[in-house]
Amino acid sequence: MTMTRRAALGALAASPLLAAPALRAQSPVELSFNYPIAVGGPIARIIDGYCADFQRENPGIRVRPVYTGSYQDSITKALTAARGGDAPDMACLLSTDMFTLIDEEVVVPWDELPGTDAAWTGSFYPGFMENSRSGGKVWGIPFQRSTIVMYYNKDAFREAGLDPEQAPRNWNEQVEFAQRLTKRQGDSVTQWGMQIPSSGFPYWLFQALTTQNDVRLMNEAGNETYFADPKVAEALQYWLDLSTKHRVHPAGIVEWGTTPRDFFERKVAMMWTTTGNLTNVKNNAPFPFGVAMLPAGRRPGSPTGGGNLYVFKAANAAKREAAVKFARFLTAPERAAQWGIDTGYVAVSPAAFETEKMRRYVAGFPAAAVARDQLPHAVAELSTHENQRVTKALNDGLQAVLTGRQQPVPAMQAAQSEAERILRRYR
C-alpha cells in the first residue's frame, strides 16, 4: 500500500463524519428526573442512591435527579418548563395532577411506552391505580404513595385509663377518647385529645371524613364534584364540632407541618397525618406510640395520596425506553419494600409485602402494615380537571368554616358552585 493510500485511509478514519456515529452510540442516555423534595435530607439521599444503583446496572443510562421542592412547586415548575420547551423527561408528581398533565398534553401514557406490559401495570394495589388510570390508559405509575392514618400516644392512653393497644374504632369513640385525653389547666389546654391538620392539604384530610360518611367528592372522569351533598356538610360539621362543641381539638387552622412536632411534644395525644410520616414518628417519638386505621363513620376509609411517576412527551424514544427501565427498577418488589421501610410510604404492590425483608419488618413493627390494611377501604384522592382551582374552592370553604366565618352547608354550596363553573366546559 502506498503512503498516499495509507494517508487517505488515515484521514477518512479520523474524519468526524465517520467517528461521530461511534461516539453517539457510546454516549449514555441522560434521563432528567424531577422529584418533589428540597435538596438534601434523607429522601434525597435515598433517591440519589437509587439513581447510582440503577446506573451501575444500566451503564448506558444516566439518571439526573432534580429536586423541585413541594408538590405544588414541582407541578408548577414542570408545566412552566414544558411550555418553554424544556420539560423534564420524567417526574414524580401528585397522582391528582393526572388530569392537569393530560389536559396540558405534556405526558404520554405508560401503555404506549416500550417495555411496559399489563402484568407490570396490573401488579400495583388497585386503590393506587384509581388515581393512575383515565380513559382506559395508565398515565401514572404509583411510587411515593400514602394514605392517612391515626397515630396515638400510648402513655397518654394509659394515663387516661384507656387501653393503649386499642385506638378508637368509630367517630363516637374518637370523641370519647379525645375527651378523656384532653388536659386543661384553667382556661389553657396542655394536651389536646386529637388534631386533624387543616393547612397545606385540608381537602385531603377532609376527604377522609367524607369517605367515612359514605360520600364521594368527585366522579371518575374528573368533571363533576359533589361538594353540596348533605353528607359532605355533615362530615364538615363533625370536624367543626371537635373544637366548638366537644372542645377536644384546637380551634381555627391546625398547621400540617407542625402537627408531628406537637405530637412529639405531647401537645396532642392523637393525630391524623400521612403514613409517609411513619418513619419520622418511629425515629422521633419519645414515647411508645400506636398506629391505627382511621375511625369509621358510616364506614371506614381514607383517600389515597402521594406521587406517581410520569413520562413527558418531550422525551425522545431512547429516553422513553430508559424511563420505563428506571420505573420498573424503582417499583421492583425488593426495592419497593426497602423504600417503604426507609420512608414510611406504602410499598405499592402486594409482591413487595411478600418479600422476606418486609415480612420481617412487619413482624417486628406491625404499624408498617396499617396503611396497607386500610387500602381496601380507600378511595381515590380528589382529582379533577383544573384540579388546583377546584381544590382551592373546597379548601377556601373548609377554612372559612373552621375559622368561624361560615357554616358548613352554605360553605359547601358555594364551593360546589365554583367547581361547577370551572368544570362545566369539560362535560
Summarize pLDDT for 209-238 with one digit per residue, the tens. Answer: 999 999 999 999 999 999 999 999 999 999
C-alpha cell belonging to residue 34: 424531577
Together in a domain, 277 and 293: yes
State the total domains in the chain: 2
In a domain, 41, yes or no: yes
Together in a domain, 274 and 409: yes
Q: Where do runs of H (alpha helix) occur along 36-70?
A: 42-57
Instruction: Note every long-range contact of 411-414, with CB atoms under 8 Å and residues 24 or more positions apart, other chains counting.
Output: 411/236, 412/227, 412/228, 412/232, 412/233, 412/236, 413/227, 413/228
Instruction: Note every long-range contact of 287-290, with CB atoms under 8 Å and residues 24 or more positions apart, other chains counting.
Output: 287/153, 287/154, 287/155, 287/156, 288/153, 288/154, 288/155, 288/164, 289/151, 289/152, 289/153, 289/154, 290/151, 290/152, 290/154, 290/157, 290/164, 290/165, 290/167, 290/367
Together in a domain, 198 and 170: yes
Please write the tens of the pLDDT for every residue from 340-371.
Answer: 999 999 999 999 999 999 999 999 999 999 99
Together in a domain, 202 and 318: no
In a domain, 17, yes or no: no
Together in a domain, 246 and 138: no
Together in a domain, 142 and 152: no
C-alpha cell belonging to residue 101: 398533565
In a domain, 317, yes or no: yes
Together in a domain, 127 and 224: no
In a domain, 1, yes or no: no
Together in a domain, 154 and 284: yes
In a domain, 157, yes or no: yes
Domain assignment of residue 34, given as a range: 29-146+305-379
Together in a domain, 317 and 272: no
Q: What is the mean pLDDT of each run of 10 residues along the chain (427 residues)?
A: 40 40 64 86 92 97 96 95 97 97 97 96 96 95 97 98 98 98 94 96 97 97 97 98 98 96 98 94 97 98 97 97 98 97 95 98 96 95 96 98 98 98 96
Together in a domain, 297 and 314: no
In a domain, 5, yes or no: no
CATH of the domain at 408: 3.40.190.10
Nearest to 139 by CA among 330, 307, 305, 308: 308
C-alpha cell belonging to residue 178: 379525645
In a domain, 3, yes or no: no
In a domain, 7, yes or no: no
Together in a domain, 188 and 291: yes
Together in a domain, 70 and 44: yes
